[in-house]
């Protein structure tokens, strides 16, 4: 029988007015990959924050038994000293610093104020090689892509002598190829004896990599499934445990689709990188979207999808060097400000809801009205009653789970944060919505609700552009699909004619980009 490396017993964690964890139990065997799944707000990340010392001993009830000893971690340094290392969903890297500097930030090599840079970079290069990166550790983090940054985080954990590695949504911002490479890397570490806990909403990946799956729902442990039992564990079986019921259809049907005239048209759009002006991030792109239409944009990481979206949204990224933008057939020139885009009824729902989309330290009420303050203000003075009324209206309309709109957005689950972000832009009353990874890092139930909102917006005559790294999502939700690769549009298909195979074939035929 395998050794129990970690046991969390009767863990209970309470925040003001909310019991986030209620007598949760978790057992992890040495050398296994153990998945932790559940809906947003189920308590998965909270449990791992208890384990890692982010929530210190004394702020929760219950015991952590690690390697046979009861542990009382007061800081993350305490857990790391025992070989427990957590990699959070939002990467904690400093773009302007080198890979090596990032890997040893707070864990410097040398004596006191004198850092031994030769040792730092030599050790960093050794760990980068272990995770399959060929870049020098002297390269700046901003010069490598998101997939490689995720590998840097893992190398950073290895440099801390990780014995138990916790990965929170490690593939949420990666394409399918990079995701599979990361999962295979995890399987390689498992062969070397490392123990891992993975939190993920991508259930196909959970099934691929896990030995056991623990399901958490509403702050309680529901069950632990053995992936090596007599019966294979299906995604539907996992979902049933997560939501307490079977979900027979992952995507809602579009009813009575009525597509109208062209609403927005981009012609020969070319954008250069803000720091490296010789590099094109959007190269001679032409596309359009009709009223009532959902247009999907798919491409591998680095294809230029987000750069295209942000450059359309008031030139909020890069330098536009060529191209025209037409709305309802008339050419418009947007200054380098999102305010102009908002005035022309364009909204951009960013993929980075925590960094660029929401003010986490402010309430739902404040965030909901941010993009349309003029409508709740009189002579620059905000009408607080009207602001509260608007937030309540969108809370009900989008089913945002919160006891009050005075709740800080930073305290919400990922799915509910995403709904607040959508509410913010819906209140701006746009005609054109650009949704960049609208379901990134949220669970299957919350995804379905977001899909329903998208369909409702299209049914109301809005033009929706949806960027997604999840190909099944693009295929199921789009009326028409543009395929991007290496900063160009390399294909266009009606959704009824598109398959995963011919979309990937279009990318490969065009020549792979970085």
pLDDT of residue 112: 67
Task: Measure CA of the first residue to CA of the last residue in the chain; give whole Å.
Answer: 45
Residue 469: inside a domain: yes
- Could you list the beta-strand ranges (E) of 58-211: 61-66, 69-71, 84-87, 110-111, 114-115, 164-168, 195-199
DSSP codes joined into one string, 412-428: S-HHHHHHHHHHHHHHT
SS3 65: strand
pLDDT of residue 287: 97
In tens, the pLDDT along 132-189 reads 888 999 999 988 877 788 889 889 988 888 899 999 888 877 777 778 888 999 999 9
Q: Write down the residue that tokens 């079986």 correspond to.
A: 237
In tens, the pLDDT along 451-472 reads 999 999 999 999 999 999 888 8
pLDDT of residue 443: 77
Give the number of domains in the chain: 3
Q: With contact defined as beta carbons under 8 Å apart, do 146 and 95 qualify?
A: no
Q: Write down the residue that tokens 């896990």 correspond to.
A: 210
125-128: long-range contacts at Cβ-Cβ below 8 A with a sequence spacing of 24 or more? 125/100, 127/103, 127/155, 127/156, 127/158, 127/159, 128/99, 128/152, 128/155
Same domain, residue pair 170 and 102: yes
pLDDT of residue 196: 95
Question: Quick one: pLDDT band at residue 73, thresholds 50, 70, 90?
Answer: very high
Question: Quick one: pLDDT band at residue 494, thresholds 50, 70, 90?
Answer: very high
Average per-residue pLDDT in the chain? Answer: 89
Can you say whether the dihedral through the CA atoms of 308, 469, 240, 219 is positive or negative? negative
Whole-structure pTM over 0.75, yes or no? Answer: no
Same domain, residue pair 424 and 438: no
SS3 29: strand
pLDDT of residue 275: 79
Same domain, residue pair 492 and 424: no
Q: Which of 243, 277, 296 is the last residue of a domain?
A: 243
Question: Quick one: pLDDT band at residue 250, thresholds 50, 70, 90?
Answer: confident
pLDDT of residue 347: 95
Residue 418: inside a domain: yes
Same domain, residue pair 207 and 163: yes
pLDDT of residue 288: 97
pLDDT of residue 111: 74
The 3-state secondary structure of 76-92 reads HHHHHHCCEEEECCCCC
pLDDT of residue 246: 64
Q: With contact defined as beta carbons under 8 Å apart, do 38 and 442 qualify?
A: no
Question: Quick one: pLDDT band at residue 254, thresholds 50, 70, 90?
Answer: confident
Same domain, residue pair 301 and 361: no
The closest of 81, 131, 145 to 107, measured between CA atoms, is 81
In tens, the pLDDT along 14-70 reads 987 678 899 999 999 999 999 999 887 788 889 999 999 999 999 999 999 999 999
Q: With contact defined as beta carbons under 8 Å apart, do 333 and 312 qualify?
A: no
pLDDT of residue 248: 66
pLDDT of residue 514: 39
31 burial via Cβ count (<10 Å: 0-12, 13-18, 19+): middle
Same domain, residue pair 300 and 364: no
SS3 222: strand
Please calculate the CA angle 197-199-202 and round it to the nearest 5 degrees.
130
Residue 176: inside a domain: yes
Backbone angles phi, psi at 452, to 5 degrees: -65, -40
CATH of the domain at 205: 3.40.50.300
Instruction: Report how far residue 160's alpha carbon sits from residue 352's, in angstroms, rounded to the nearest whole number.
Output: 28
Same domain, residue pair 81 and 137: yes
Same domain, residue pair 235 and 169: yes
Check pLDDT > 90 for residue 432: yes
Same domain, residue pair 375 and 477: no
What is the percentage of the chain residues whose pLDDT exceeds 70?
A: 98
Same domain, residue pair 132 and 13: yes
Same domain, residue pair 77 and 161: yes
Strands 381-382 and 432-436: unpaired
CA torsion 440-455-253-248 (nearest 10°) is: 40
Written as six digits, the tokens of 301 are 């990481």
CA distances from 419 to 100, 307, 387, 400 (A): 37, 23, 17, 6
Check pLDDT > 50 for residue 312: yes
Instruction: Report how far residue 184's alpha carbon sits from residue 190's, in angstroms, rounded to the nearest whole number.
Output: 10
Question: Quick one: pLDDT band at residue 212, thresholds 50, 70, 90?
Answer: very high
Average pLDDT of span 98-105:
92
Q: With contact defined as beta carbons under 8 Å apart, do 155 and 130 qualify?
A: yes
Check pLDDT > 50 for residue 366: yes
Instruction: Report how far residue 273's alpha carbon sits from residue 271's, in angstroms, rounded to the nearest whole number.
Output: 7
Higher-scoring residue by pLDDT: 388, 1: 388
pLDDT of residue 39: 80
Question: Quick one: pLDDT band at residue 229, thresholds 50, 70, 90?
Answer: confident
Domain residue limits at 74: 4-243
Residue 331: inside a domain: yes
Residue 208: inside a domain: yes
Check pLDDT > 50 for residue 513: no
Average pLDDT of span 92-99:
90
Instruction: Report how far residue 454's alpha carbon sits from residue 449's, in angstroms, rounded to the nearest whole number.
Output: 9
Residue 205: inside a domain: yes
Instruction: Report how far residue 475's alpha carbon sits from residue 457's, in angstroms, rounded to the nearest whole number.
Output: 18
pLDDT of residue 423: 93
**pLDDT-wise least confident of 144-158, 375-389, 487-501:** 144-158
The closest of 287, 315, 323, 308 to 478, measured between CA atoms, is 287
Average pLDDT of span 328-332:
93
Same domain, residue pair 11 and 155: yes
pLDDT of residue 512: 45
Residue 457: inside a domain: no
Check pLDDT > 90 for residue 446: no
pLDDT of residue 134: 87
Average pLDDT of span 191-215:
92
What is the percentage of the chain residues whose pLDDT exceeds 90?
A: 56
Biggest CA-to-CA distance, the chain: 72
pLDDT of residue 344: 93
Question: Quick one: pLDDT band at residue 415, thresholds 50, 70, 90?
Answer: confident
Residue 451: inside a domain: no
């Amino acid at each position: 029988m395998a050794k129990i490396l970690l046991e969390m017993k009767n863990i209970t964690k309470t925040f003001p007015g909310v019991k986030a964890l209620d007598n949760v139990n978790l057992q992890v065997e040495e050398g296994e990959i153990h998945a932790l799944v559940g809906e947003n707000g189920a308590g998965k990340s909270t449990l791992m924050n208890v384990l890692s010392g982010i929530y210190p001993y004394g702020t929760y009830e219950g015991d952590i038994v690690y390697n046979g000893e009861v542990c009382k971690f007061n800081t993350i340094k305490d857990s790391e000293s025992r070989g427990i290392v957590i990699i959070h969903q939002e990467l904690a890297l400093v773009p302007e610093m080198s890979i090596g500097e990032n890997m040893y930030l707070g864990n410097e090599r040398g004596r006191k104020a004198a850092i031994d840079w030769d040792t730092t970079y030599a050790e960093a290069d050794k760990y980068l090689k272990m995770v399959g990166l060929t870049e020098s550790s002297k390269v700046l983090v901003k010069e490598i892509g998101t997939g490689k940054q995720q590998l840097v985080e893992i190398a950073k954990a290895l440099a801390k002598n990780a014995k138990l590695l916790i990965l929170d949504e490690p593939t949420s911002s990666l394409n399918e190829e990079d995701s599979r490479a990361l999962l295979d890397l995890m399987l390689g570490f498992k062969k070397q004896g490392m123990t891992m806990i993975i939190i993920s909403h991508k259930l196909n990946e959970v099934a691929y990599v896990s030995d056991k799956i623990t399901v958490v729902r509403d702050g309680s442990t529901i069950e632990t499934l053995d992936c090596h039992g007599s019966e294979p564990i299906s995604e539907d079986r996992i979902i049933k445990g997560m939501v307490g019921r079977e979900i027979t259809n992952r995507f809602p049907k579009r009813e009575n689709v009525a597509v109208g005239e062209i609403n927005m048209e981009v012609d020969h759009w070319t954008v250069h990188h803000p720091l490296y002006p010789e590099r094109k991030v959007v190269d001679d792109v032409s596309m359009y979207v009709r009223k009532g239409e959902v247009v999907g944009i798919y491409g591998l990481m680095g294809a230029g999808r987000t750069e295209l979206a942000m450059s359309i949204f008031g030139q909020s990224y890069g330098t536009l060097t060529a191209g025209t933008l037409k709305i309802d057939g008339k050419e418009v020139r947007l200054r380098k400000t999102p305010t102009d885009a908002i005035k022309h009824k364009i909204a951009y729902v960013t993929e980075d809801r925590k960094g660029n989309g929401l003010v986490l330290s402010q309430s739902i009420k404040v965030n909901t009205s941010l993009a349309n303050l003029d409508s709740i203000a009189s002579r620059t003075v905000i009408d607080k009653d009207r602001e509260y009324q608007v937030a309540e209206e969108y809370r009900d309309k989008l089913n945002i789970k919160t006891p009050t709109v005075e709740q800080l957005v930073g305290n919400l689950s990922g799915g509910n944060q995403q709904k607040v972000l959508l509410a913010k832009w819906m209140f701006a009353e746009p005609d054109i919505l650009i949704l960049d990874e609208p379901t990134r890092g949220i669970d299957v139930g919350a995804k379905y609700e977001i899909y329903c909102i998208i369909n409702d917006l299209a049914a109301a005559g809005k033009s929706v552009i949806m960027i997604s790294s999840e190909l099944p999502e693009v295929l199921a939700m789009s009326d028409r699909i543009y395929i991007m690769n290496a900063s160009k549009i390399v294909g266009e298909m009606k959704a009824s004619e598109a398959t995963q195979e011919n979309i990937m074939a279009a990318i490969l035929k065009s020549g792979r980009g970085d």
